[in-house]
Structure formats: structure tokens, C-alpha cells
Structure 1
Amino acid sequence: MSGPASYTVTVDRDACDGVFACLVRDPRFVEDDDGLAGIDADDAEAVERTEASVTATFADDRIDDAQQAAEACPLDAITVETAETPGVIDG
């Protein structure tokens, strides 16, 4: 039996306006120091932060939570992609 799928979650900091609908859908989303949505790195395999975005890679079974957070974002600032088949799942 294979383990959990690997996937990435990206927050487009330029698109984010601090609505924080994502925070109630997935507890890995947090408010960063700039008042925008960020990702708590504790459960991530890797996190890359730039001025324009923050991207975290996960290998767990919580992709549905990330997808719900992306769907809840009214500004489409969150994308979720699988590592096996790159492509936007939601956002």
C-alpha cells in the first residue's frame, strides 16, 4: 500500500487581501506578519517564501482540507497541486 500523496499549496501574496476564509477550512493557514494568509511550516516537508508567494509541500492525507481552503478563498489566491501530476486542483 502506498503512502499519502505529495502535494503543494501556494498562497499568491499579491492576490491575498487578508480575508482569511482559508483559516477556518485548514488550520495550517495562518495570518503572517504582513496581515496576509501564510502557511504554518510545522507539518510541511518544505516551505519556500518569496515576496510574491509562499509555497509548502506536504506528504499527508489532508489535501481535502487544502482544497476546501482554496475553494473558500474569494480572491483565488490559493492553489493546490499534486506532485505526481502537476496542475491546479483548486484555487
Structure 2
Amino acid sequence: MYRVTIDRDACDGVFACLTRDPRFVEDSDGIATLDPDADPAPPDGSDDGAIERTAETVIGAFDDERVQDAEAAADACPFDAITVEDVEGSR
């Protein structure tokens, strides 16, 4: 399992993440958010995760094989607004 966190205060709406992982989308405030349903062709075995949204963060917990997509989105963010971390040593 892995956790993806978007720091909404750090996000500036450049959206480099959107081209790396289709679960990243623009929300109504012009900031990146997570929406697993936005993926037009999710790979077999992918899950919808558990998404928690607050005013400061969006946190998604996933248990699938798409961690590299999430890491690519985090690496593309020029503001370091996205972190991806292993949960409970599962990777």
C-alpha cells in the first residue's frame, strides 16, 4: 500500500502531474486533486483507493501497482507539492 499526498497550499496549478498519472485532475479551485474514476483505462488490478480531502491536503491510499505513475507525478511537480510514501513497509 502507498499513500499519495497533495499539499494544496504548495500546489500552484501547473498540472505537470496530470500528464504523468491520470488519477490527478484539476479541482474547482484550480488545484490538483485525486480522482481514480478519471482514469479512462485503469490497469487490471487497480483500485479506487481511499481519498481524504481537507482544505490543506488531498490524501489517497492505494493498494495497486500504479505507484510508479504516482511517483512520476510527484517528480514532475515543480513545487514539491506531491509526496508518495510506502505505508506499513508494504512495498
Structure 2 matches for 1:70-89, cutoff 5 A? 70-85=74-89
CA-to-aligned-CA distance 1:25-71 (integer Å, 9 cap, x gap): 00000000100000004343211100000000101000000000000
| Residue of structure 1 aligned with 2:29, choices 34, 41, 44 | 34
* Number of corresponding residues: 81
Structure 1: 5+ residue stretches without partners: 1-5, 87-91
What residue number does 2:14 align with?
19
Indicate if the aligned counterparts of 1:10 and 1:54 stay in contact, CA closer than 8 A: yes
What residue number does 1:89 align with?
none
Q: CA RMSD in A?
A: 1.4
Task: State the secondary structure of the residue aligned to 2:18.
Answer: coil
Identity percentage over the alignment?
63
| Residue of structure 2 aligned with 1:52, choices 45, 52, 56 | 56
Report which of the two has the higher share of strand.
1
What residue number does 2:41 align with?
none
- The answer to whether the aligner puts 1:7 opposite 2:7 as a matched pair is no
Report which of the two has the higher share of helix.
2
Structure 2: 5+ residue stretches without partners: 38-46
TM-score by length of 1: 0.84
Moved over 2 A (4+): 41-45
